[in-house]
A and B are shown apart, each in its own frame.
Chain A
C-alpha cells in the first residue's frame, strides 16, 4: 500500500517489507452461491431483469462488463468489481489531498474518477467565525489549505453532469489533518459506518475515508482548523511504533481483502502483539494476525 510519512521523522514502516510482499493476488472471501464473472460473460438470458452497474445488454442478454461478483437486488442485477476507483455518495467521509488551489475552490484528489472540488464557501475559516467570504479570503486561500495538505471532509453533493464530488469541511471534525501517516487501500474495503474518526484503545487516531484513503495520527485534534505551528510538536518513538503497527494491521487486512473498520483493526492490532511491527507483513504473519478479523467478516465469530 502506498505510504507517505507526512512528518519527516515518522517511522516510515518498512518500505522494504511492503515491496517484498508484492504477491497481492487478491484472495476473495468465498461464500456459497457467489458467482464470479468476467467482462463479456452472460449473466442471464432472462428478459425480466434490469441492468445495474457493471453490466450491459447485448442482443437481449445481460452481460457483465467488469470482473467481479454478481449481486442481485430484486430485479436489478449488478456486478461489483473486486477493485475500482471510489464512487462517492453524499454524506461519505473522505480523506483527500489538495492538488491545486484555484479560483474560490481547491481541487482535491480523493481517488475518485475526477478531482473533487472543495469550494471556499464550504470551509470554516480559522477562528471559526461564520461570515461571507471576501476577496481577501480568496487571496489567502493558500494559508488555509495549500497544495499537498491532507484533509478530511464530507461529500456534500455530486454534480449530475460528470459525477464530480463537491466536498465540505463545515464542521470541527473536518479540516486539515496534522502530522501522521497516509495510506491507500481499495475503497470497497472501508465499511460505511456512523463514525469514521476513531481513537483506538492504543491511543492512535485513525480517519478511515470511504474513498480508501486513510490517515493515521498520534492523536485526534479537537479543532482541526488550528494553525500549522501545532504540527511541530514531537511524537515519541513509542507512539510512532504504535502508529506503524496500526498501519501494518490495516495493510494486512487489505492484503486479505477484509473489511476495514475499528473492530477489525483492533483485532489485528491485538493479535500482532507477539510480532515486531516490521514482521507483520510477511505472508504467514498476515494469515495469523488477520484470522480473527476474517472470522468476523465471514460471520463465524
Chain B
C-alpha cells in the first residue's frame, strides 16, 4: 500500500495549519484557521443582549450561523449544530445568564475537513472575545479509504472515502488528563475495532492542533 498521498503527505500527517486572531473590528472576537487549503473565518459576538423569546434565565443562549462557501452548501445545518454543541459544552454559559453568544462561521475555501477547521477557529475566536471556557478545544478529521486510515482528508479524499469521515472535538485540559472527547461526528459505516483506531488517531491529531492553538494564542 502506497504510504504517500496525492499531496505527498503520509497517512497520519496533518496539513500545515495557519491561524490569525482579531482580524475583524466589529465582533468581540474573531479568528481564522486553515488546514492547508481549507480555511474558515469565525466571529464571536457577545455575551450580549438577547430577544426575550430566546432568552434563557440561567445561561447564555448560544447561536451558530454557518455560511458555506459557494460550491458547498450541504451539511451547513448539521455542522452549525455540532459547533453549537461544542460551544455549549465548553463555554461557561452559566456565567452569563440572559444573554446571547453568537458565533458566525464563514467558510473561505473548502478542501475537506471544514467542521474541524470551524471548531478550531471558534475556539480561537472565543478566546479572543474573552469569553470564559472550561478548556481549550480542538478538532481534527479522519477518513477511512479502502480500509486504510488517513488523517485530515482533502476534499477529493473525503469524497472518495468509502467508509467514514470522523471529526472528533477534543477537550484539552492541560496536565489534568490527556484529552476528553466532547463531540464526535461520523458518517458512513465503521467497525467498532476500526473506530478505536480512528479515535486514537483523531485524539493525537487533536492534541497536535491544540498545541498549535496554544502557541498561536500566547504570541
Contacts and interface: CB of A to CB of B under 8 A. Distances in A.
A228 B53 CA distance: 36
Interface in B125-177: 127-136, 171-176
B49 A38 contact: no
Interface in B41-63: 46-49
Contact of A113 (B99, B172, B174): B99
B136 A2 contact: no
A115 B52 CA distance: 13
Interface residues of B, number: 38
A39 B133 contact: yes
B98 A40 contact: no
Contacts of B171: 40
A158 B28 CA distance: 22
Contacts of A2: 25-26
Contact of B49 (A25, A61, A115): A115
Contacts of A38: 127, 136, 174, 214, 217-218
Contacts of A266: none
Contacts of B199: none
A25 B22 contact: yes
B92 A65 contact: yes
A184 B24 CA distance: 13
Contacts of A162: 97-98
Interface in A58-107: 58-59, 61, 63, 65-68, 81-85
B37 interface: no
Contacts of B47: 85, 113
Contact of A114 (B24, B49, B172, B218): B49
A61 B49 CA distance: 33
B193 interface: no
A108 to B, nearest CB: 11
Interface SS, B side: loop
A206 B48 CA distance: 26
Contacts of B127: 38-39, 66-67
A22 interface: yes
A84 B23 contact: no
Contacts of B214: 38
A26 interface: yes
B130 A83 contact: yes
B25 A1 contact: yes
Contacts of A24: 22-23, 25
B29 interface: yes
A61 B176 contact: yes
A65 B28 contact: no
Given A1-B25, A66-B133, A25 B172 contact: no
Contacts of B132: 39, 54, 56, 65-66
Contacts of B97: 162
Q: How large is the interface on A (under 10, 10 to 19, 20 to 34, 35 or more residues)?
A: 20 to 34
Contact of A39 (B28, B96, B136): B136
B92 A41 contact: no
Nearest to B175: A42
Contacts of A226: none
A56 B92 contact: yes
A291 interface: no
Given A25-B21, A114-B98, A114-B99, A41 B48 contact: no
A163 B92 CA distance: 16
A50 interface: no
A200 interface: no
A5 interface: no
A36 interface: yes
A40 B129 contact: no
Interface in B194-219: 214, 217-219
Given A25-B219, A113-B96, A82 B49 contact: no
Contacts of A22: 23-24
Contact of A26 (B22, B98, B131, B135): B22
A41 B26 CA distance: 29
B174 to A, nearest CB: 6
Given A63-B176, A85-B46, 4 more contacts: A40-B176, A83-B22, A83-B29, A162-B97
Of all A-B residue pairs in the complex, the 10 with the closest CB atoms, nearest first, are: A84-B130, A40-B135, A81-B130, A65-B132, A39-B133, A67-B127, A115-B49, A113-B47, A40-B173, A24-B22
15 contacts: A23-B20, A25-B20, A38-B127, A39-B134, A40-B134, A40-B174, A63-B173, A65-B92, A68-B130, A81-B130, A83-B29, A85-B130, A113-B99, A114-B49, A114-B98
